[in-house]
Structure 1
Amino acid sequence: MRLQRMTCTNFRSFDKKSVTFDQKKLVFIEGDNGSGKTSLLEAMYYSCFLRSFRCASPKQMVKFDQQAFHISLALEDDQGQPLTIEVGFSADKRIVKMNGKAVESFKELVDHYRVVLMTEDDLSLVTGSPEQRRSFLDHGLLLIEADYPQQVRTYKKILEQRNAFLYQGGNPSNEHGTVWTRKLWDQARLIQQARAGLLAKCQERVNKLIQRYFDDPITIKCSYQPKRYNQQQSYQEFLDSSIALFEQEKRFGRSQFGSHLDDVLITFANKRSRLYASRGQQKLIALLLKIGLLQEITDRRGPTLLLLDDFITDFDPTRQKQLAKLIYELDTQTFFTHPASCPLQQYLAPETAPCIVKLAD
């Protein structure tokens, strides 16, 4: 898959902005702060997930004093055929079209167009709350497993109903309560198994990348950690060991176990990355996890775009050279944003010349 051209109309600061990417594997988007570099990546991202990574409401992406925005992508699909995707938003209504026909579902869209994004905020994958690490896995699974969005919706509905039952004074261990407990436990296991499986694949890919491209004799380990119970437990074993847990649920009036509370432990050279890795090491871990995820999505679903929003600056020249080789050899089209000339460019061979897009204020 290659993104060849994109047009944004009344999107963020753009009246109408058309950009051509020349079929290049590497695209460097350069410009001063406020020139719209990140907005171009946001348009690519929104056209996949139908939500922004910068704001909660699409209204915030409409240019000031306008009522609607429109994004148009011209691509070459996985089979080398022309593909157009159009996304429009107006008055709380969103319209998505593919080759001129209305798209009815998220699944239909990601069957043809997928992106993985990396921004400075993704450092929280290592340093932030458990929610950030769960979100990393969930975003990947949305692109990989067709039924995962429905699994998540089902889980949220069960959790909401069980929480309402507990809030009203329900007993999670009586006959009525155990119906909701079993439903939540079963649905949580489906999500946990999917997350743990993807995490194991990402860990394997990350360590292969380290062995191939970096001199460091280190290993990154990622362990999925359900809260409150052991993944190996049967449902009956969980019930038998959860008397104190259920008392706590009655006291707080909400569920104290489930996939919405889980975390991922990431270690770097056998130490907790969040506590002991340097900022540069944390950034490298986060980037490698994203690249490992991209490789897994590509293998299981097809080519996927990599979007890197000004994420190379903090790396030293040795790391930049290693990353330039790694990223160029990925089987994907990669988009970088950077205020000036991208530092990776100096490490690329002449035959690998990127497409350079320069934006002005």
Structure 2
Amino acid sequence: MRVVRLSLRNFRSYESADVELGAGLTVVTGRNGAGKTNLLDALYFGCTGRSARTTNDRELVRFGQKVTRVEVETEADDGPHRLSVGFEAGQPKRLTADGVRVERLLDVPGRPLVSVFLPDRLELVKGTPSLRRAHVDQVVAALWPARTTTRRGYAQALAQRNALLTRVRDGAVSPTSLAAWDRELARHGIALMADRAAAIDAVAERFGAIAADLGLDGDPRVAYRPRSKATDADGLVAELEERRTSDLERGFSGHGPHRDDLALTRDGRELRAYGSQGQQRLALLALLLAEREAIAATRDAVPVMLLDDVMSELDRERRGRLVELLRGVGQSVVTTTDLEHVPGGDGADVRRLRVEDGEVRADDLREQP
């Protein structure tokens, strides 16, 4: 599946735009502040129903307007498809797939998978463990869509156990009532840990190789860091029982997969604490590319790669290696202030777009005198 066209109305800095994407690499050029990042965000919004940059959808509506709308046209083996997202402040978001109203685009069969690199996403490396846990769960869902029920089951069991802890602490029910929910939480928890471990196993070797190719030296690695040491549900139940007193004092469950983390390291030291911003950027880029390769190897689907201003901190050799990785398979959209920063960006097989004065224009070098 590939994205053929992106149409948007009153999205951020754009009054309107209709953009055709290339089958492989699309390069978007323009000065800083021209709206290149907004274009990537619109594409992400149209494919997922949410922004890659903000949780406040009101920020997506063009200043002075009330409604924004984004449409994405795709081509797949079973024919063309159309996804649309409309938002108006104070109203439910309107999501449709081939004209049919849906609750979530993420549940639409055949929806394009999307992976996005933005400077803001460095929080995935530098931020809290909750961001990395959520990311690993997204990778699990992309690799094995049917396994999303495991994460939901665990979340529901955790909410029930936390509610019961509050009732036990208040004296409303006996502590013995926790045993059943310990067992339920452990059952889902062990399955969730196994899914996360399998996802990182699929990515780890690829991450090391790609990170080294991009210039991150010092034995770069990615590893799953589960909070629990249990290998089966009985073991996790035992761990929960050992911590029951402290859980009752706090009023919530302090142990389990909801406290897991993902470690990105170089020479055995976590990049979160000891890496420079440049090293963190390379690690994030390598992680996303490794995940893309793993998904392509597991499923008949390759995520569309959206890369914002990624070339500016790479030397020419690393830029060339990145372009090779991007052009090897699937679709990619790269923004840059200078076309020369994208080796091969002037090739006949590259779709070029230029953002100027709030408009997106095709930039066909072959038409220039």
Normalised to the residue count of structure 1, the TM-score between the two structures is 0.86
Could you list the per-position Cα deviations for residues 160-180 of structure 1 after superposition, in whole angstroms to 9, with x for gaps in the alignment? Answer: 221122123449994211111
Checking the alignment, whether the CA contact within 8 Å between 2:7 and 2:71 is kept in structure 1 is: yes
- Change in 2 beyond 3 A, CA 1:289/1:108: same
- Seen in structure 2, the aligned counterparts of structure 1 residues 301 and 178 have a Cα distance that, compared at 3 Å, is farther
* Cα distance between partner residues in 1 of 2:105 and 2:262: 27
User: For 1:206 and 1:195, how far apart are their aligned partners in 2?
Assistant: 16
| Alignment-derived partner of residue 226 in structure 1 | 226
1:231-264: per-residue Cα shift (whole Å, max 9, x none)? 42x3434444555522211111110112221112
- Deviations along 1:289-323, whole A, 9 cap, x unmatched? 10111122233141320001222222233322322
Secondary structure at the residue paired with 1:74? strand
Aligned twin of 1:51:
50
Q: CA deviation at 1:193?
A: 1.4
User: Which amino acid is 2:200 matched to?
Assistant: L
Please tell me whether residue 194 in structure 1 is matched to residue 191 in structure 2: no
Distance 1:166 1:98 in 2: 42
SS at match of 1:59: helix
CA RMSD of aligned residues (A): 2.8
Alpha-carbon distance in structure 1 between the residues aligned to 2:124 and 2:273: 13
Structure 1 partner of 2:289: 291
Distance 1:231 1:355, change over 3 A: farther
What secondary structure is seen at the aligned counterpart in 1 of 2:139? helix
Change (3 A) 1:235 1:174: farther
SS of the equivalent of 1:16 reads strand
Q: Describe the shift of the 1:278–1:316 C-alpha distance in structure 2 as closer, same or farther (beyond 3 A).
A: farther
> Which stretch shifts more, 257-266 or 201-210?
201-210
Q: What do the CA deviations read for 1:150-207 (whole angstroms, capped 9, x no partner)?
A: 3333322222221122123449994211111121222222222111111111112223
2:183/2:237 contact within 8 Å kept: no
> How far off its partner does 1:288 sit?
0.8
Percent identity, aligned pairs only, is 25
Partner of 2:356: 359
- Asked if 1 retains the 8 angstrom alpha-carbon contact of 2:216 and 2:283, the reply is no
Q: Tell me the CA shift for residue 267 of structure 1.
A: 2.1
CA distance in 2, matches of 1:159, 1:216: 38
Cα distance change of structure 1 residues 148 and 52 upon mapping to structure 2, 3 Å threshold: farther
Q: What is the alpha-carbon distance in structure 2 between the residues aligned to residue 3 and residue 237 of structure 1?
A: 46
When residues 104 and 215 of structure 1 are mapped into structure 2, their CA distance, relative to the original with a 3 A threshold, is: closer
User: Contact 2:182–2:237 (CA<8 Å) still a contact in 1?
Assistant: no
Counterpart of 2:277 (choices 276, 279, 283) is 279
Change (3 A) 1:313 1:135: farther
After superposition, the C-alpha distances for 1:16-70 in whole angstroms (9 at most, x for unaligned) are 222223x352112223344322221112112222121222233332223333221
Question: How far 1:121 sits from its partner (Å)?
Answer: 2.2
Instruction: Supply the distance in 1 between the matched residues of 2:211 and 2:310 (Cα, whole angstroms).
Output: 18
Aligned partner of residue 35 in structure 1, secondary structure: coil
Name which of structure 1's ranges 268-277 and 8-17 shifts more when overlaid on structure 2: 268-277
2:254 corresponds to 1:253: no
Instruction: Give yes or no for contact 1:167–1:254 (8 Å, CA) kept in 2.
Output: yes
Query: How far has the Cα of 1:270 moved from its partner?
Result: 3.1
Q: Deviations over 1:84-142 (max 9, x none)?
A: 22222235223333333444654552523111111112223332221221122122233
- Structure 1 residues 337-352: aligned runs within 5 Å: 337-338=335-336, 340-346=337-343, 350-352=347-349
Residue pair 2:47, 2:111 contacting (<8 A) in 1 also: no
Ranges in structure 2 where 5+ consecutive residues have no aligned partner: 359-369
Q: Distance in 1 between matches of 2:72 and 2:278?
A: 34
Residue correspondence of structure 1 range 83-122 to structure 2 within 5 A? 83-90=81-88, 91-103=90-102, 105-106=104-105, 108-109=107-108, 111-122=110-121
1:173–1:38: structure 2 CA closer, same or farther, 3 Å change rule?
farther
Q: Distance in 1 between matches of 2:9 and 2:38?
A: 12
CA distance in 1, matches of 2:216, 2:306: 26
2:176 aligned with 1:175: yes
Q: Distance in 2 between matches of 1:285 and 1:216?
A: 7
TM-score (norm 2): 0.85
Kindly indicate whether the alpha-carbon contact (under 8 Å) linking 1:320 and 1:344 is maintained by their aligned counterparts in 2. yes
Paired AA for residue 355 in structure 1: R
Q: 1:244 to 1:173 in 2, by over 3 A?
A: farther
Residues paired across the two proteins, number: 354
Question: Within 5 Å, which residues of 2 pair with 1:1-361?
Answer: 1-21=1-21, 23-77=22-76, 79=77, 81-90=79-88, 91-103=90-102, 105-106=104-105, 108-109=107-108, 111-170=110-169, 174-209=175-210, 213=213, 219-227=219-227, 229-232=228-231, 234-241=232-239, 244-299=242-297, 300-329=299-328, 331-338=329-336, 340-346=337-343, 350-361=347-358
Q: Provide the C-alpha distance between the structure 1 equivalents of 2:13 and 2:214, rounded to a whole number of angstroms.
A: 40
